[in-house]
Chain A
Amino acid sequence: MHEDKLKNQIPILRFLNKQKWRIIIPILFTTVYFGLPRYFREPFASQYYLFITSAQNAAREQLNSEVTDVSNQILSDESLLGLITKYDLFAKERKSGINDKLLIEKMRRATQIRPDTDNTANGAMVYVWAHFWDTDPQKVIAVSNEVVARFEEQSNLRVMKYIAPPYDYNPWRGWVLFGSAMQGATFSLLLILIWEIPFLFYSQKTKEMVFNPLKSDWQNELFEAKLRNQTWKAMQINTRYSYAFLAAMIQKSPIGDLIEFVSRFAKL
Chain B
Amino acid sequence: MNNSKNNEFPKLSRKEFLALGMLISKGEMFGLEMVEAAEGELKRGTIYVTLQRMGDKGYIESREEPRSMPEIGIPRRKYWATGLGERVYQTNVKAHEFFNSGFAWGGNN
Pair A213/B76 contact, Cβ less than 8 Å: yes
B100 to chain A, nearest CB (A): 16
A118 at the binding interface (Cβ < 8 Å): no
Pair A213/B77 contact, Cβ less than 8 Å: yes
Query: CB within 8 Å of B: which of A215-268?
Result: 215-217, 219-221, 223, 240-241, 243-248, 251-252, 256, 263-264, 267
Point out the residues of chain A lying under 8 angstroms from B73, CB to CB: 216, 219-220, 223
Q: Mark B44-73, 1 if CB is under 8 A from A, else 0.
A: 111011011001000000100000000001
B69 to chain A, nearest CB (A): 14
Pair B45/A213 contact, Cβ less than 8 Å: no
Query: A241 with B44: in contact, given A213-B31, A216-B73, A217-B32 (CB under 8 Å)?
Result: yes
Query: A248 with B31: in contact, given A209-B51, A219-B74 (CB under 8 Å)?
Result: no
Closest chain B residue to A214, Cβ basis? B48
Interface residue from B11, B13, B32, B48 paired with A210 (Cβ < 8 Å): B48
Pair A216/B74 contact, Cβ less than 8 Å: yes
How many B residues touch the partner, as a band? 20 to 34
B75 at the binding interface (Cβ < 8 Å): yes
Number of interface residues of A (CB under 8 A): 29
A76 at the binding interface (Cβ < 8 Å): no
Distance A246 CA – B45 CA, assembled complex (angstroms): 8
Question: Tally of A-B residue pairs with Cβ under 8 A?
Answer: 65
Interface residue from A216, A241, A252, A267 paired with B49 (Cβ < 8 Å): A252
Interface residue from B44, B62, B74, B76 paired with A240 (Cβ < 8 Å): B44
Query: A245 with B75: in contact, given A209-B51, A209-B62 (CB under 8 Å)?
Result: no
Query: A247 with B31: in contact, given A206-B52, A209-B51, A220-B76 (CB under 8 Å)?
Result: no
Pair B32/A209 contact, Cβ less than 8 Å: no
Pair A220/B32 contact, Cβ less than 8 Å: yes
Pair B76/A248 contact, Cβ less than 8 Å: no
Distance A178 CA – B45 CA, assembled complex (angstroms): 40
Pair A217/B45 contact, Cβ less than 8 Å: no
Pair B76/A244 contact, Cβ less than 8 Å: no
Pair A247/B45 contact, Cβ less than 8 Å: yes
Point out the residues of chain B lying under 8 angstroms from A263, CB to CB: 13
Pair A244/B49 contact, Cβ less than 8 Å: no
Closest chain B residue to A209, Cβ basis? B52
Point out the residues of chain A lying under 8 angstroms from B32, CB to CB: 217, 220-221
Distance A223 CA – B67 CA, assembled complex (angstroms): 14
Closest chain A residue to B65, Cβ basis? A216
B50 to chain A, nearest CB (A): 9
Q: Mark B7-32, 1 if CB is under 8 A from A, else 0.
A: 00001010000000000000000111
Pair A247/B77 contact, Cβ less than 8 Å: no
- 13 A–B contacts from the bound complex (CB under 8 Å): A206-B52, A209-B48, A209-B62, A211-B48, A212-B77, A213-B48, A213-B77, A219-B74, A221-B32, A243-B45, A248-B45, A248-B49, A251-B49
